[in-house]
Structure 1
Amino acid sequence: MTVTSPWRHAASVAVGTLILFSVGSAYVISAWNNEMKDMLGMTQVEITAVGSCFTFGQFNLIWVGIFYDHFGARYSFLVSATFLATFYWTAAWLTTAPLAPHWMMAATFACIGFSHAFPTLSAIAATEGLYGDAHRGKIMGILAGSYSGGGAAFAYIYHAWFDPHVGDFFTFMGWELSVLCLLGAVFIQSSSHLDKPQSPTVDEETPLELKGKLEHNITLWPLLQTAQFWHLFVVVLVGVGSPLFVMNNLSFLVESNGGDAAHVPTLVQLFSLFNLVGRFAMGAISDAWLPTVPRTHFLTASVVLVGLVQLSFV
């Protein structure tokens, strides 16, 4: 019995949302990095290096994108399952080895971050276009919002069941994420595999002014030579990087201001929940205003808002 396309689409989005929800556990770093620092006798520089390597790995997406384009969603999720289990369990072992060089933990978290990048990009790339351009923003809002919601949920999970047993939390994450990625390999299939185009040419009804853009499939090196790419690169670097810097060092910000470290999980949950609402709302709003307001306007406004919020720390 063949699964109909609508059901396949729904299953892909549902599993992709669940995977993004779990990958959002990356936000929980502020809930456990202080415990790791004390447990292993790390300096502030060393524990900061762990967070920085984790973030660097997560956003080193270009290689994941190349792999996805060549091998597709299924193999990307299989690689995700293997990498996430291997490196999370390595990190769990390192928490029991205080004599191990501290740079090994930072290197392991660079690999964990890179492993996070596989399911993140694969789930988004495979599902964001399943329902067409008219609903692309809402699908992206669901996926990105679930990532943020996962941060809130896993902050609670860590605080309720694992605090201060960081190694046990890493073992749990290795199992949980690898199982979900295996589900992704089974259930998620990208739109390019579900709906093959009728013809390799652009449809005759496509407006003439769009045909040149649709026919031009730009490759990596020419893309890097376009101004549009670097404009978007800088915007994402600032708009995403600066909030993540605050998030990764939240526990130390609280500590330096004389706050109670017990409040850190709650702050992580608040950050994640408001991030969830903002992401989904922006997806729906940008869809509704797409005919009159380009998505780039919303992107610019969000970066300006991030800048204003950052000034509140001064």
Structure 2
Amino acid sequence: MPTESWRKATSVAVGTLMLFALGSAYAISAWNTQLKAALGMTQAEISAVASCFTFGQYSMFFGGLLCDRFGVRVAIVVAAVLATGSYWVAAALVTSTAPPWTLAATFIVVGLGHAFPCIAVFAANEGIYGRTHRGKVFGLMSGSYSAGGAVVAYVYTAWFDHRVDAYFTFMGWSLLVASVLCMAFLGPQTDDAMLHDEATTLIDPSNDDDTTPNVTLVVLLHTRQFWHLFVAMLCGVGVPLFVLNNLSFVVESNGGDLAHVPSLVLAFSLANLVGRFTMAPLSDGFLHVVPRHRFLAGSIAFVGLVQVLFVVCPIDALVVPVVLTGFGEGCVFGIVPVVTRELFGPRHFGKNYGLVSLANAVGFPLVLGPLSTALYRMQLGPGTQTCLGSACFAPMFGIAAAVCGIATVCAARLRPPSASLANGVGTKL
């Protein structure tokens, strides 16, 4: 019978492998221009595919409900069916004459197939090594997500260039294998016995009492803290997602070589990996000196400042803001799950992190994506579908910097959970 330490290590390992496979979402800029050209899609149509993918990918609330009610393994089984089936359907649609909206609709399901295992892996491992190592565990798993994006971007270029349908088939098989391993080795969610010894550490790390509230749904939605964190996530992650999903079009509009896009995706993902690996463990190390929410606010402010570089950097130096944006988003992603858990408690972590992650389903797909497409189309010449010149995206980068400023203020205003919140009242709006 495996020892407890072996079980914990194996659970984190298979969770890390799953997130590595899910990181393929970051490789979208490696194939979306080829998909657009192959199917003769307009900018609005290919943007709809990306937005639908992101919307499904960050609709983690439904996966959180499933995890909290039926356990992580049920969520993994559902994810395997969703991800594998929808990727194979997408592969068939690429070689068919189906209208573009069918591919966009399919990618909502593909996104859900990414969301369910992500929340299951986090829920299974968030407390597996206790409070003092929570940031390190989240950093490792989040970092593997970014590493997956870098590796898959390279794999696509090396093995699947101009064969998007074969790539989708490959991803279906990859996620199926990762799901089977998670079904076999992923640990259960943290139980109540372990929760009793946990303490809230977001604002007051010296507090060793079991004061972490366990709130969710209606009570959670009536707290200012949730909405501050929601806006911080919406902008702090939504802006980098806008950059990542439009990298190929930014390069194209500035007269760059599209052959360099996979390298930019790789650079973004590697920098993102460094940010995720760095931020959560760093917040662990300064737990008794700097509250975690200040790390979050600083990371979002950094993302906002970097957007200005996209406007002033020449195309040959575009890698600089790309790398810095990737690093900034990695820092945000590395700290938000820990902040969520320590603000609102472990018992409903699946639902709560799912609710916070809905910000990502709103930020890029429903706000920044459509807005950038509208601004892009305003710059198009008569009878053209491709915008050329710095004006194509400059207004959007200015807006991105501004919304990050708002998000920074929201992150800075996060406050410690109160006794009233633990009793179900909360800091009301």
The within-5 A match list for 1:195-274 is 197=193, 213-214=211-212, 216-274=213-271
- Farther-moved stretch of structure 1 (125-134 vs 88-97): 125-134
Query: Any idea what SS the aligned residue of 2:95 has?
Result: coil
Task: Please give the per-residue CA displacement for 1:137-161, whole angstroms capped at 9, x wherever unaligned.
Answer: 1111101110001000000000000
Task: Please give the per-residue CA displacement for 1:79-123, whole angstroms capped at 9, x wherever unaligned.
Answer: 1111111100000000011x2111000011111111100111111
Partner of 1:109: 107
Is contact 2:247–2:261 with CA below 8 Å preserved after alignment?
yes
Partner of 1:179: 177
Partner of 2:324: none
Query: Any idea what SS the aligned residue of 2:255 has?
Result: coil
Partner of 1:145: 143
Partner amino acid, structure 2, of 1:264: V
Shift of 1:217: 2.2
2:150 and 2:210 mapped to 1: Cα distance? 44
Task: Please give the per-residue CA displacement for 1:195-248, whole angstroms capped at 9, x wherever unaligned.
Answer: x618x9x56x9999775733x421211101110000000000000010011101
Task: Please give the per-residue CA displacement for 1:28-76, whole angstroms capped at 9, x wherever unaligned.
Answer: 1100001111111111100000001111111111111111100111111
1:69 and 1:210 mapped to 2: Cα distance? 26
1:275 corresponds to 2:272 = yes
1:6 corresponds to 2:5 = yes
Shift of 1:14: 0.5
TM-score, scaled relative to structure 2: 0.69
Is contact 1:130–1:190 with CA below 8 Å preserved after alignment?
no
Partner of 1:42: 41
Partner of 2:417: none
2:2 and 2:20 mapped to 1: Cα distance? 25
1:230 and 1:236 mapped to 2: Cα distance? 10
- CA 1:136 to 1:212, structure 2 compared with 1: closer, same or farther past 3 Å? closer
Shift of 1:125: 1.4
Shift of 1:7: 0.4
Gaps of 5+ in 2: 312-429
1:288 and 1:210 mapped to 2: Cα distance? 17
Is contact 1:21–1:150 with CA below 8 Å preserved after alignment?
yes
Gaps of 5+ in 1: none
Shift of 1:252: 0.8
Match of 1:295 among 283, 292, 295: 292
CA RMSD after TM alignment: 1.9
Partner amino acid, structure 1, of 2:299: S
Shift of 1:291: 1.2
Shift of 1:128: 2.2
Query: Any idea what SS the aligned residue of 2:190 has?
Result: helix
The within-5 A match list for 1:76-155 is 76-97=75-96, 99-155=97-153
- CA 1:212 to 1:129, structure 2 compared with 1: closer, same or farther past 3 Å? closer
Query: Any idea what SS the aligned residue of 2:41 has?
Result: coil
Task: Please give the per-residue CA displacement for 1:9-37, whole angstroms capped at 9, x wherever unaligned.
Answer: 00000000011011000011100001111
2:56 and 2:239 mapped to 1: Cα distance? 16
Is contact 1:88–1:170 with CA below 8 Å preserved after alignment?
yes
Q: How many residues align structurally? A: 306
* Amino-acid identity (%): 55
1:213 and 1:303 mapped to 2: Cα distance? 28
Task: Please give the per-residue CA displacement for 1:160-209, whole angstroms capped at 9, x wherever unaligned.
Answer: 0001100000000000111101110110013525xx618x9x56x99997
1:293 and 1:218 mapped to 2: Cα distance? 25
